Structure 1
Amino acid sequence: MRKEVWFGLSIMALVVFGVFFLMPPPSEMTNGHLGLLMLALIVVAIMLGFPTAFTLMGMGVLFTWLAYRSQSPDLAVRQTLDLMVQRTYSVMSNDVLISIPLFVFMGYLVERANLIDRLFKSLHLAMARVPGSLAVATIVTCAIFATATGIVGAVVTLMGLLAFPAMLKAGYNIRLSAGAITAGGCLGILIPPSVLLIVYGATAGVSVVKLYAGAFFPGIMLTALYVGYVVVVAKLRPDYAPPLSAEDRKVTLPPTSQAIVAGGRNNVISGLLGAMKGRRNAAVPMRVLLSQLFVGLLPALAFVLVMGALYRVVTAPPAVIEAGVVEMGVDAQEQGGADDDKGGLAEPPAESGLTEPAAENGGPAVVTPAPAPALDNRPMERTAPDASAAAQEAGPSEPAPSGYWIAFGILLAALLAFYAFFTFARLEIFKMLLGSFFPLALLIVAVLGTIVFGLATPSEAAAMGSLGGLLLAAAYRRLNYSVLRESVYLTAKTSAMVCWLFVGSSIFSAAFALLGGQEVINAWVISMDLTPLQFMILAQIIIFLLGWPLEWTEIIVIFMPIFVPLLAHFNVDPLFFGLLVALNLQTAFLSPPVAMAAFYLKGVSPPHVTLNQIFLGMLPFMAIQVVALVLLYMFPAIGLWLPEVLYK
């Protein structure tokens, strides 16, 4: 029998033994004990391989009937059926869940647009001089593609087919290569638009928009830690990640670029400008030169546009609101009152109508008489300020702060350094990035930007992302009936699984609450007299251990309704707790024996790569996840700064 089966059976035996050892005799058993028994039985049933959603529903219905039967046996069946209908309807009417099929559909379309091949190749060439460049390019590709798809299995499988053979051919260590692919593929669990965050937000009642904003920097931090680990290993152990040969770093130039380079100028800008005049232009059409020059100047154009927009923002004059009606609560000094220090609420003078602020030369305010309005019972309406008048009254522009000029100087120096070493080979790599990285980046920024900045709800942004996925697939000539049919089928299958999980979880949670299981756990945890730090450590350890036998969907829908009611007692922000859980739950895909990422990779690996080698390769990256978890807890601003800035 396989080791994984023995491990699973051992876990189940411990659960069953613990339940029957800790449970009181049947004569003393209460409904709360039945709730704990239900919780233990659901874990055992899932580990035995029963479908999670229908196991939750069946167990929930059975124990709901037991709970109602103990109160009113005649109405038990009717009340149980009513509860099933109400819980199912509440899931169907949940607006947050609408975004799940749309995001999944976008992911499947992007996956089938054949972008990942181009993306990996371009990033591999762009990072050719970085130690461990293939593994670094793999992690970055996984992070970008996971952001666009959020489908762990798809990312790991595709990178296993694309990057794993390339790294093995280059002499990379098997464990390092496997760890980079599996850890990078799991980043889609944390980085928005993550389905996990949507499920947690719907379960815990936390804003999905704030969760997306909060998970942005922790995702970048974890990716940077992965990349840093690979670079350090490549420097300390060059045999684990040998540098690429000159042949592997070679970029084939088109004939027009070869003609310009043959003239003695390898720099893009000077070479193109020099080729536009004189005898060099004989072999290269002017149209080609202008198009190449436009592509080469795109970074400078982006720099001008971004810094120009930022300059207008930081130097904008303060808005002067010229209201049509003087509001109650205006500062006493503006009303001509004597109490200059308090500046509290003051009523406007009874005889004065519309008033303007005092003149700048210290003269008296100009008072415009107006008839007093008739009193009525309608609420006071606030007159909108006149935009043209406000623009005329606005003062001169503010000087740009020193921070802007420091950033301007740093970025300008980086731009000049970029163009100083901008060869025609790098121009070809840049054009490859334009065709692979920037379309994905534009789609990601458009979807996440509209969500984070409040321009659209997650469902609306997901719909826009689905349209973007269709356009990307069409632009790369991958949109056909077969691709569309397969994407729709897989989307329906995944969405049905998630929705049935929610229905089963809702019924299960209701049964658990009816039996009083939540009160038993709350009383037990509170009786331990834990500090908030101790509670957080205990909760994260439990979630970490649950990641061994269970997947993240089961942990979220079953155990989060148990943890969330305890957060208020320990003054823990549900948003911050959700970020910690999302970071922690990546271990569900990296921890054996149910490390699904390992099985995805093993399915597409060469025969000589064993499952134990993949498991060993994932262990250092699991340790990095623990380090990231500690950093996020020690410095909560990593996850909470952006939501606090955007949603004060």
Structure 2
Amino acid sequence: MIAIYLFLAVCLLLMFGFPVAFTLAGTALAFATFGIYMGWFDPGYIQALPERIFGVMNNETLVAVPLFILMGVLLEKSRVAERLLNNMAQLMGNVPGGLGISVVLVGMLLAASTGIVGATVVTMGLISLPSMLKNQYSPSLATGTICATGTLGQIIPPSIALVLLGDILSSAYNQAQLAQGVFNPKTLSIGELFVGAIVPGLMLVTGYIAYIILHTWKSPNAVTTETVEGQSIWQLLAGLLPPIFLIVLVLGSIVSGAATPTEAAGVGAFGALGLALLSKQMTLQAMHDSFTTTLKVTSMVFMILIGAAVFSLVFRGFGGDELVQQAFEHLPGGKYGALFVVMLLIFLLGFILDFIEITFVVVPIVGPILLMMDIDPIWLGIMIALNLQTSFLTPPFGFALFYLRGVAPPDIATRQIYRGVLPFIGIQLLVLLLLVMFPQLVTWLPGQLMG
């Protein structure tokens, strides 16, 4: 029961807005101190903490995190999104819903090149929201499209969320092996997660575009007013080809086995710096801001990771993992019943917690148990990533909603933003259901390209 109280205390403190890393570590250490004093907790778990933290510091896979963050920040500073959106909108011409389709397509490219949800939502909000409103898109459709498109960076590779999930699921897989009396340590391939996310990511993009077409079909006035010019096509190619080449270079090197995700992240960061310099938008101040932003975000992620290591050790020390395992074993439906409960828990926690908090608090607890039920780790990782994506959209605390609210015109009500994202949440849940019914949508491509 103390393990349950620990989990509830952490969730409650996070809801009050306390810093994630210090909440995880501080609450866990407070419970451990009380448990040691009462004789309920083995101090050996605390003695194992330095080794766990050193393991985080010595993990080469996690080096990809700051490099992918730097890659995204550099491309944001070089105004790639603005050039892409302007040229794509001109190319679509007077196609009904053309501007909305352009926003989705550009958001997909930004997701694959930057992967930073906040930057994508803010950038698209500043650039495309005024144009969509001017072209008679309803505020709900415009804001919902921008918020949903901005979250594609969670699932479309190279995704920081997939890198973190891959590392956590690797530890969960090894714990599951040890619990079953098998010691075959294995690192879950980040490349396989990236490849497995391609089809679900394209399904989301297709679903978003289909919804926009159906919605604007009923409102034929919601079109772009720009006309197609021969020069616009060349401008589009000039703005489109460099980031696409960078994406292909990064993902292609991982899929082909020519580079590890960490090495590919280094290539991507270097290529992004080159594109930023060629765009002539990268001043010394902008470069300083890019490195500073990368340092802050990376420090936040790794502090949370260390805090989560403390929390998971204390939770296990109080027998929390055994309690969860017993609860799952008594659920009807076997592994699918357990998976449904976990997916529902992650979805509900997404209303109040950030994806990083859910990743570092929930996944280490439930991951080993699900993997012991013979669930494919690649499929499980993509399922969790897609579910976590909804945490950016679910009211009232979806971060994408806050990002857009900060740059949206004052005459757009918050309730209109909330109403606008509901259909896109439905599309995400539909794709999630399809992945449950047809796991091959995730597992087939990694088996063909990396099997």
TM-score range, shorter chain: over 0.9
**Shift in CA distance, 217/536, structure 1 to aligned 2, threshold 3 Å:** same
Amino acid of the structure 2 residue aligned with 1:56: L
TM-score (norm 1): 0.65
1:453-532 correspondence runs (5 A): 453-532=256-335
**Shift in CA distance, 199/99, structure 1 to aligned 2, threshold 3 Å:** same
Q: How far 1:236 sits from its partner (Å)?
A: 2.5
- In structure 1, how many angstroms separate the alpha carbons of the residues matched to 2:334 and 2:93? 49
**Corresponding residue number in structure 2 for 1:227:** 209
Q: Secondary structure of 1:249's match?
A: coil
Q: Is it true that 1:249 corresponds to 2:227 in the alignment?
A: yes
Q: How far 1:221 sits from its partner (Å)?
A: 1.0
**Corresponding residue number in structure 1 for 2:19:** 51
**Shift in CA distance, 202/250, structure 1 to aligned 2, threshold 3 Å:** closer
Q: Is it true that 1:187 corresponds to 2:152 in the alignment?
A: yes
- In structure 1, how many angstroms separate the alpha carbons of the residues matched to 2:227 and 2:435? 38
Q: How far 1:596 sits from its partner (Å)?
A: 1.1
- In structure 1, how many angstroms separate the alpha carbons of the residues matched to 2:330 and 2:436? 24
Q: How far 1:227 sits from its partner (Å)?
A: 0.6
Q: How far 1:116 sits from its partner (Å)?
A: 1.1
Q: How far 1:69 sits from its partner (Å)?
A: 4.8
1:67 touches 1:511 (CA, 8 Å); kept in 2?
A: no
- In structure 1, how many angstroms separate the alpha carbons of the residues matched to 2:441 and 2:380? 13
- In structure 1, how many angstroms separate the alpha carbons of the residues matched to 2:92 and 2:435? 28
- In structure 1, how many angstroms separate the alpha carbons of the residues matched to 2:285 and 2:422? 39
Q: How far 1:594 sits from its partner (Å)?
A: 0.8
1:131-170 correspondence runs (5 A): 131-170=96-135
2:121 touches 2:147 (CA, 8 Å); kept in 1?
A: yes
**Corresponding residue number in structure 2 for 1:551:** 354
Tell me the alpha carbon deviations over residues 56-113 of structure 1, each in whole angstroms, 9 at most, x when there is no partner.
111222233344555599x94xx56633322221111111110000000010000011
Residue in structure 2 matching 1:214, options 196, 202, 208: 196
Extract unaligned runs of 5+ from structure 2.
171-187
Q: How far 1:39 sits from its partner (Å)?
A: 0.4
Q: Secondary structure of 1:585's match?
A: helix
- In structure 1, how many angstroms separate the alpha carbons of the residues matched to 2:228 and 2:109? 25
- In structure 1, how many angstroms separate the alpha carbons of the residues matched to 2:399 and 2:258? 36
- In structure 2, how many angstroms separate the alpha carbons of the residues matched to 1:40 and 1:573? 29
**Corresponding residue number in structure 1 for 2:8:** 40
Residue in structure 2 matching 1:591, options 380, 391, 394: 394
- In structure 2, how many angstroms separate the alpha carbons of the residues matched to 1:226 and 1:166? 19
1:179 touches 1:614 (CA, 8 Å); kept in 2?
A: yes
Q: Is it true that 1:566 corresponds to 2:363 in the alignment?
A: no
2:103 touches 2:149 (CA, 8 Å); kept in 1?
A: yes
Tell me the alpha carbon deviations over residues 606-644 of structure 1, each in whole angstroms, 9 at most, x when there is no partner.
110011100100001000111111112222122111111
**Corresponding residue number in structure 1 for 2:383:** 580
1:182 touches 1:590 (CA, 8 Å); kept in 2?
A: yes
Q: Secondary structure of 2:48's match?
A: helix
Q: CA RMSD in A?
A: 1.6
- In structure 1, how many angstroms separate the alpha carbons of the residues matched to 2:45 and 2:250? 41
Q: How far 1:126 sits from its partner (Å)?
A: 1.7
Amino acid of the structure 1 residue aligned with 2:151: C
1:107-122 correspondence runs (5 A): 107-122=72-87
**Corresponding residue number in structure 2 for 1:633:** 436
Q: How far 1:550 sits from its partner (Å)?
A: 0.6
Larger radius of gyration: 1
- In structure 2, how many angstroms separate the alpha carbons of the residues matched to 1:550 and 1:568? 24
2:196 touches 2:446 (CA, 8 Å); kept in 1?
A: yes
- In structure 2, how many angstroms separate the alpha carbons of the residues matched to 1:457 and 1:65? 41
Q: Percent identity?
A: 36
- In structure 1, how many angstroms separate the alpha carbons of the residues matched to 2:40 and 2:228? 79
Q: How far 1:216 sits from its partner (Å)?
A: 1.1
2:96 touches 2:213 (CA, 8 Å); kept in 1?
A: yes
Q: How far 1:540 sits from its partner (Å)?
A: 1.3
Tell me the alpha carbon deviations over residues 106-130 of structure 1, each in whole angstroms, 9 at most, x when there is no partner.
1000001111111001111222243
Tell me the alpha carbon deviations over residues 402-438 of structure 1, each in whole angstroms, 9 at most, x when there is no partner.
xxxxxxxxxxxxxxxxxxxxxxx2xx23211221111
**Shift in CA distance, 244/62, structure 1 to aligned 2, threshold 3 Å:** closer
The total of aligned residue pairs comes to: 434
- In structure 1, how many angstroms separate the alpha carbons of the residues matched to 2:49 and 2:396? 34
**Corresponding residue number in structure 2 for 1:124:** 89
- In structure 2, how many angstroms separate the alpha carbons of the residues matched to 1:581 and 1:626? 12
Q: How far 1:527 sits from its partner (Å)?
A: 1.8
**Corresponding residue number in structure 2 for 1:296:** none
**Shift in CA distance, 72/611, structure 1 to aligned 2, threshold 3 Å:** closer
**Corresponding residue number in structure 2 for 1:103:** 68
Q: Secondary structure of 1:608's match?
A: coil
Q: How far 1:496 sits from its partner (Å)?
A: 0.4
Q: Secondary structure of 1:568's match?
A: helix
Q: How far 1:536 sits from its partner (Å)?
A: 2.2
2:331 touches 2:337 (CA, 8 Å); kept in 1?
A: no
2:276 touches 2:282 (CA, 8 Å); kept in 1?
A: yes
Residue in structure 2 matching 1:449, options 252, 259, 269: 252
- In structure 1, how many angstroms separate the alpha carbons of the residues matched to 2:372 and 2:161? 25
2:207 touches 2:427 (CA, 8 Å); kept in 1?
A: yes
1:64 touches 1:510 (CA, 8 Å); kept in 2?
A: no
- In structure 2, how many angstroms separate the alpha carbons of the residues matched to 1:250 and 1:456? 40
**Corresponding residue number in structure 2 for 1:414:** none
Extract unaligned runs of 5+ from structure 1.
1-32, 252-424
Q: How far 1:571 sits from its partner (Å)?
A: 2.1
1:64 touches 1:80 (CA, 8 Å); kept in 2?
A: no
**Corresponding residue number in structure 2 for 1:620:** 423
Counting helix residues as a fraction of each chain, which structure ranks higher?
2
Q: Is it true that 1:236 corresponds to 2:213 in the alignment?
A: no
Residue in structure 2 matching 1:201, options 143, 154, 166: 166
- In structure 1, how many angstroms separate the alpha carbons of the residues matched to 2:108 and 2:250? 16
